[in-house]
Amino acid sequence: MRGTTAARAARAAALLLTPLLALTTLTACTQELRGEEDLGARPYTGRFYEDPPSAVGAPGVVVRSEVAAGAPEGATAWRILFRSTDLRGDAVLNSGMLVVPDGPAPDDGRTIVSWGHPTTGSAEKCAPSRSVDPYLWMEGLPSLLKQGYAVVSTDYTGMGVPGPDSYLIGATEGRNVLDAARAARGFLGDAASDRVLLWGHSQGGQAVLFAAQLSREYAPELDVRAVAVAAPATDLAALLRADIGDVSGVSIGSYAFAAYSEVYDAPLDSILTPEAEAALPAMNGFCLITQNAALHKVAQPLVGRFVTADPGATQPWADLLAANTPGTSALPMPLLVAQGRADQLVRPAATSAFVEREKRLGTAVTYDEIAGATHGSIADKALPGVLRFFAEEVRASASRSSAPSSGSR
């Protein structure tokens, strides 16, 4: 893959979520920064996303595909449009990427890894599959392909193609992740198995945790064997409380408050300052990385003047954040959680608390704390352990399923 030093540095910068804020002279600033938006916001130049088909139909069905250029060596990639549903069960259309190793599949089909990507923005143009290099955001992709996995990644609802905002809306993101696996399974036919592994970072960690919680009820035909997350967004109230005083927290807040206001009809003036509320539409039009200069230029004025109260102690926001915090029930499959000790965005204490809560619920959890790992580097540093964990769980699950039951002896 194109793993240059510059690309890795760009990705790390994006995942630190340093950009994004505010507006006092919105019109003038927008005009001044139009050139950067034109250059960076929509690098995909084809017509794949134009005139999208209907979202109505069975979830997980691929309704459009095209071979994507620049796939990692020894693999073929497709952009896909597939059907999914949101947290209320309403039909939505999602875009994404599917990358598969070349050559024949194993006799029992390829195991599917459904990847939950970290924050790239919330606007349609910010979808990873629209990126000039969509593979960059699929952390661990070359190694996963070498293991023989088919890797699929959804752009969350509202990104890539029109749909309701879904930023940190756990049940929608989780359904997207599962329907992406369904889409890969149906698209590949006999070359794919029912086996699914879930892997996500940051926002994507929250997404795949919700997918794991929903899997048996929402997609019982999928055999979800294991889940791995890196620095997952878990306790959302604690996350905002810890970070709201700097640009990273305002970034998260700008996306989240806009999404929750749209999806739950929550009044923005109950939590945001007038300046923040006025700036929200423009802030949510910016993407990470491709518009960093624009985001930094408009960010600073709102730092310290974004919210009027603690969202975790103010209704309806406290209940909404709690409803979108994973960890309310035991997961029916093993879980690996990786956390960087040097992470200044998703704090180690919050992840440790989540791990302990999952253990009390009865989830089989492996916790991997990695010294020196930051929010931007944790997924790469955790990858060797993730690959071992996945391989062991696929083998262990196969052994369990093939072992004779006590009643047959």
Which residues are CB-neighbours of 169 under 8 A, at least 6 positions away?
86, 87, 157, 259, 260, 263, 324
109-145 confidence digits (pLDDT tens): 999 999 999 999 999 999 999 988 899 889 999 999 9
Question: Where along the chain do its domains lie?
Answer: 5-41+52-237+320-401
Burial class (CB in 10 A: 0-12, 13-18, 19+), 395: exposed
**Structural domain 5-41+52-237+320-401, CATH architecture:** 3-Layer(aba) Sandwich (3.40)
What is the distance of C-alpha 171 from the center of its chain?
12
Return the number of other C-beta atoms located less than 10 Å from residue 47's C-beta.
8
Q: 191 with 158: CB under 8 angstroms? A: no
- pLDDT for the residue numbered 18: 34
Between 35-39, 92-96, 145-149, 386-390, the lowest mean confidence (pLDDT) is in 35-39
* Single-letter code of the amino acid located at 170: G
Per-residue confidence (pLDDT) for residue 4, from 0 to 100: 40
Return the higher-pLDDT residue of 281 and 221.
221
- Beta strand extents in 341-396 (DSSP E only): 365-370
Average pLDDT, the chain: 87
**Coil/strand/helix, residue 106:** coil
Query: Would you state the pLDDT for residue 399?
Result: 64
Note the pLDDT of residue 178.
Answer: 98
Residue-wise DSSP of 278-335: HHHHHHTT--TTTTHHHHHHHHGGGTTSSBSS-GGGSTTHHHHHHHT-S-SS--SS-E
- According to the model, what pLDDT value does residue 396 have? 86
User: Which pLDDT score is estimated for 17?
Assistant: 39
Range among 12-26, 127-141, 332-346 rated most confident = 332-346
**Higher-confidence residue: 121 or 295?**
121
Q: For residue 406, give the amino acid letter.
A: S
pLDDT at residue 11 above 50?
Answer: no
Output the CA torsion 49→52→57→60 (10° steps).
0
String of DSSP letters for 124-160: GGG-GGGSSSGGGGSTTHHHHHHTT-EEEEEPPTTSS
Question: Does pLDDT of 400 surpass 70?
Answer: no
User: What does the DSSP 8-state code read for residue 50?
Assistant: S
Q: Which residues pair with 81 in a beta bridge?
A: 64, 95
Q: What pTM was estimated for this model as a whole?
A: 0.89
The yes-or-no verdict on residue 275 having pLDDT over 50 is: yes
Residue 100: predicted pLDDT: 98
- The pLDDT, as a whole number, for residue 403 is 53
pLDDT category, 245, cuts 50, 70, 90?
Answer: confident
User: Residue 159 corresponds to which tokens in the numbers above?
Assistant: 């990104």
Q: What are the helix (H) ranges across 16-164? A: 26-32, 34-40, 141-146
Mean pLDDT over 300-316 rounds to: 92
The torsion defined by the Cα of 95, 63, 179 and 286, in degrees rounded to 10, comes to: 10
Does the structure show a pLDDT above 50 at 5?
no
The amino acid at 184: A
For the stretch 340-383, pLDDT in tens is 999 999 999 999 999 999 999 999 999 999 999 999 999 999 99
Flag whether pLDDT at 237 surpasses 90. Answer: yes
| Per-residue tokens: 169 | 């809306």
Q: How far apart are CA 220 and CA 100, in angstroms?
A: 24
Question: How would residue 3 be classed by pLDDT, with cut points 50, 70 and 90?
Answer: very low
The structure tokens listed for 221 are: 């035909």
Residue 288: per-residue pLDDT: 77
